[in-house]
Homo-oligomer: A and B are copies of this chain.
Amino acid sequence: MKTNKHRLAIGIDFGGTAIKAGLVDETGAVLDRVQTATADIQAHAHASGRINAWLDFVGQCLRRFQVGRRRPAGIGVGVPGFVDFSRGFIHNLTNVPGWTHVPLAGMLRKRFGLNAFVDNDVNAFAIGECTYGAGRRFRQAVCATLGTGVGGAVVIDGRLYRGAYSMAGEIGHMSINLHGRRTPEGRGGLETYVGNTRLVAAAARALRATTASGHLAGRRSSLRNLVKNDLKRLTPKIIALAARRGDPLSREIFDAMADCLATTFASVTYLLQPEVIIVGGGVAQSGRVLFDPLRRHLQERLHPLFAERIRVVPAILGEDAGIIGCAALVFQR
């Protein structure tokens, strides 16, 4: 491990697939990292078993990072769900069963004697991007992450805005169609239109489409070759690749997704008029096949006074964004 005169923090990005931990310094540099599969933690039958396994993993990280030699300023954790940041309390994790009503920050403090903070993962991502990444130059920003669903976070006057009860920023549940599909979160929320599974489903549907008389009438598309005619192999990455190579179907799918995103971004711009909307997450790495139609549709959906002032940019911290953002939770206190 390199010596370093900056303060250090542990950032832990608790995702549905992997738990990534990193030792991060105050410049945003990741000095070391470890990860484990979320499934290994979730294999424990009881909630208490899962929480203990999770804390054991943190203990391993601390040993590996040789924290004994140089005391870090604290531990920051980002989790995929509803959190009360002020108490470090997890209400509920959307896609990780058994993490309900967990006072995680208190548990970390007690077990490791370190300062600890727990926040929504997209909030941590936003703090990271606005401290070290694409949002560095801006004071008013909105962040969106495109993954399984759509996450969001609001930055006001350079600080994360959590709302009155610590749950603000849920742009994935903002409605883009009052008559849309019903979910536990309402009707026609952005997430019912946009996300990895929607993208893949739209492609599969178009390739598989049948006529009224039952004949196969699926669209021609270079996607067929890319997945060797096995629709189960479709991923957002492959659709983005085909779109970049000019495949009309893949471009249409990205265009439709971009228009749904633009609808929400226009509403966000009318309500908050940020300087910038920062877009992260896997699909955001698709580049121009996403950002070109996204910016075009956003312009169409805004009055010129708003359209000419809003910027839409990709996040830049990449794979480490989560870890860095979680560490930034510690540094910003």
By a beta-carbon cutoff of 8 Å, the part of chain A in contact with chain B is 82, 91-92, 139-140, 152, 154, 156, 161-171, 173-179, 184-187, 259-260, 263, 266-268, 270-275, 300-303, 305-306, 309
* Interface pairs (19), CB distance under 8 Å: A91-B305, A139-B164, A140-B163, A163-B273, A167-B305, A170-B306, A171-B271, A173-B266, A173-B303, A175-B263, A175-B301, A177-B179, A178-B263, A185-B303, A186-B303, A267-B267, A268-B271, A271-B272, A272-B272
Check if B140 sits within 8 Å of A170, measured CB to CB: no
Q: Given A263-B175, A267-B175, A270-B171, A302 and B185 touching (CB < 8 A)?
A: yes
Task: With both chains docked as a complex, state the minimum distance between the C-beta of A257 and any C-beta of chain B, in angstroms.
Answer: 12
The interface residues of chain B lying within 8 Å CB-to-CB of A174 are 266-267, 270-271
**Of A186, A274, A305, which is in contact with the most chain B CB atoms at under 10 Å from its CB?**
A186
| Complex alpha-carbon distance, A173 and B274, angstroms | 16
| Complex alpha-carbon distance, A151 and B272, angstroms | 14
List 4 A-B pairs, minimum CB-CB distance, nearest first: A163-B273, A174-B267, A186-B301, A170-B270
| Complex alpha-carbon distance, A168 and B186, angstroms | 25
Check if A167 sits within 8 Å of B273, measured CB to CB: yes
The interface residues of chain B lying within 8 Å CB-to-CB of A179 are 177
Task: With both chains docked as a complex, state the minimum distance between the C-beta of A152 and any C-beta of chain B, in angstroms.
Answer: 7
Closest to A174 in B: B267
| Complex alpha-carbon distance, A164 and B156, angstroms | 9
The interface residues of chain B lying within 8 Å CB-to-CB of A263 are 175, 178, 187
Check if A272 sits within 8 Å of B154, measured CB to CB: yes
| Complex alpha-carbon distance, A154 and B157, angstroms | 14
Check if B91 sits within 8 Å of A301, measured CB to CB: no
Q: Given A154-B272, A164-B274, A270-B170, A178 and B302 touching (CB < 8 A)?
A: no
| Complex alpha-carbon distance, A214 and B173, angstroms | 43
Closest to A91 in B: B305
Check if B271 sits within 8 Å of A169, measured CB to CB: yes
| Complex alpha-carbon distance, A274 and B179, angstroms | 25
| Complex alpha-carbon distance, A185 and B301, angstroms | 6
The interface residues of chain B lying within 8 Å CB-to-CB of A303 are 173, 184-186
Closest to A167 in B: B273
User: Given B272, B273, B300, which contacts A186 in the complex, CB threshold below 8 Å?
Assistant: B300
| Complex alpha-carbon distance, A170 and B273, angstroms | 9
The interface residues of chain B lying within 8 Å CB-to-CB of A164 are 139-140, 273-275, 309
The interface residues of chain B lying within 8 Å CB-to-CB of A82 are 305
Q: Given A164-B309, A167-B306, A173 and B270 touching (CB < 8 A)?
A: yes
The interface residues of chain B lying within 8 Å CB-to-CB of A177 are 176-179
